Structure 1
Amino acid sequence: MISTIDILSIPIWNVTMEEARNLAFKCIDEGRAASIATANAEMVMRAQTDRELAHILQHADLVVPGGAGVLWAAEQQGKKFKERVTGVDLACSLLQEAAARQTPVYLFGGAPGIAEQAAANVQQQVGSLHIAGTHSGFFSADEEKDIIEDIRSQGTRILLVALGVPKQEKWISEHLYELGPCVCMGVGGTFDVLAGKAGRAPKWMQDNRLEWLYRLLKEPTRFKRMLALPKFVAAVKLGGRAK
């Protein structure tokens, strides 16, 4: 049985990449709607003051350890996650398996044109991926209804949502059971990476848990968001009392 490790009252599943992918496709095979979130320090800290987000994460079907900070936090408890399961890597793993199975995938979010470019690039890499549809993260209330109908009517079984945290998690939670039997995952900036508009940190930085520094150097405007990191460290050290 797969266990969880609580990080500041957010249960995070202790899974490998393969286990996470298999759990997602088990839901697909069973015709169940399911939500997947990728937890990092920034998301966990936001959940300390955003009760709606905390509730969503506490009741998600799968929350994977996506950030180096949550791995560190587990170690402070004398525990250890099997491996880090980043959003980009899990999304790519799901897309590769979807191509092999011809599972319909829908890419929703990002700037105009990004989801389409990401889908085109992935198709070049994995071959026969069944793209059920794409749509940017810009939409009106009326367009949102049409997007939901499009996702459902196209038989989507994997929906990747790139609206940013916490909007994507809240959108998935609100609409999960309107979308048909599909697995929905919030993927943040993954489409930018797949579309070739953003790069990932060098492997040595990933291995040394320094992706946050790479992102900050590439995008200095992230500085304010990065202030969540020292708050996260303090909260973990103080047993959740620092917010």
Structure 2
Amino acid sequence: MRDTINVLDIPVDRITMEDATRRISEFVNSSNYHMVFTPNPEIVMLARDNADFKAVMQRADLIVPDGIGVVLASKILQDALPERVAGYDLVQNTMKQAADKGYRYYFLGSKPGIAEQAAQKMRAKYPGIQIVGIRDGYFKEEDEPAIIEDINNSNANILLAALGAPKQELWIDKYREQLPNIRVAIGVGGSFDGMAEVVKRAPEFYQKVGLEWFYRLMCQPTRAKRMLVLPKFVIEVVKEKFHKK
């Protein structure tokens, strides 16, 4: 039985990083397809304005609070999540166990060459890891049957989709019946850029105090427009709190 908190109609799991890593291991050892999503406030707001996207999010098997804003929202709602579970770190934790547990990854998404570079870095970082397929995110709908065939032929059991929200979540849901070997499909956003080291992650201090978003804004001022969603998110959470009362 999942233990979740409702954040603007998105059921976010009340879970720690350790437990989320263990849950993915359980998923891989099962016989079913599982969708894992990692929303930040921007993604939650996208789902609020897109009924199809919201429905897919609500069908997920595991939703972890990637953004510190989602954790803060839970505190505003007086139903606090235990901690932030960053999607990038969650995937890295699975990779630490990959060789021993038989995880086989398929990297789907990002710009041409980035997924390959990410795979190269991860193979060096985690000896024995199996990255059995790679495909960039620059494809058309008519290319998708061939991509599905390639994923199935690779015998991957974990699909990492870096197509950006909401495309990656919608794609993961759309093909859930056509990927019989996949046990876990995770929407990973820009994680391949981090794995490939073409985008530098915030220093550990910023990660620990929940200011990774601020560091990224300093490094990429063009993100300022996207950050405008944060105050809107807080307002909606406060409105939901008083509506419940």
For residues 208 and 29 of structure 2, the distance between their equivalents in structure 1, rounded to whole angstroms, comes to 34
> Cα gap change, 1:56/1:240 in structure 2, threshold over 3 Å: closer, same or farther?
farther
Contact 2:164 2:190 in 1 (8 A): yes
CA apart distance, 1:66? 1.0
**In 2, Cα distance between equivalents of 1:232 and 1:86:** 19
Deviation string 1:12-67 (CA, Å, 9 cap, x unpaired) is 00111121122222122112111000011111111111111111111101101111
**Aligned residue runs from structure 1 range 80-95, under 5 A:** 80-95=80-95
Please state if 1:69 is matched with 2:69: yes
Amino acid across the alignment from 1:44: V
| Residue aligned with 1:177, SS | coil
- Cα offset, 1:2, TM superposition: 4.3
The residue number in structure 2 matching 1:108 is: 108
Contact kept, 8 Å, 2:104 with 2:130, in 1: the verdict is yes
Match of 2:50 in 1: 50
CA distance, structure 2, for counterparts of residue 44 and residue 240 of structure 1 = 16
Q: Which runs of 5+ in 2 are unaligned?
A: none
| TM-score (normalised: structure 2) | 0.94
4+ aligned runs moved over 3 Å, structure 1: none
Using the size of structure 1 for normalisation, the TM-score is 0.95
**Are 2:229 and 1:228 aligned?**
yes
Q: How big is the shift at 1:143?
A: 2.4
Number of residue-to-residue matches in the alignment:
241
Shift of 1:213: 1.2
Quote the Cα distance in structure 2 between the aligned partners of 1:34 and 1:149: 19
Deviations 1:182-204 (A, max 9, x none): 21000000000000101111222
DSSP-derived class of the 1:239 partner: helix
Is residue 117 of structure 2 the alignment partner of residue 117 of structure 1?
yes
SS of equivalent residue, structure 2 residue 138:
coil
* Aligned position for 2:169: 169
Q: Is the Cα–Cα contact under 8 Å of residues 10 and 44 in structure 1 kept in the other structure?
A: yes
Contact (CA 8 Å) 2:77, 2:237: kept in 1 or not?
Answer: no
Q: Which runs of 5+ in 1 are unaligned?
A: none
Question: 1:142 is matched by which residue type in structure 2?
Answer: E
CA RMSD of superposed structures (Å) = 1.4
- The one-letter code matched in structure 2 to 1:65 is P
The amino acid across from 1:212 in the alignment is: W
For residue 96 of structure 1, report the CA deviation from its aligned partner: 2.0
1:20 equivalent to 2:20? Answer yes
Question: Following TM superposition, by how much is the alpha carbon of 1:9 offset from its aligned partner in structure 2, in angstroms?
Answer: 1.2
Partner of 1:7: 7
Letter in 2 for 1:175: Y
Q: Which amino acid aligns with 1:152?
A: N
Equivalent residues of 2:133, 2:151 under 8 A apart: yes
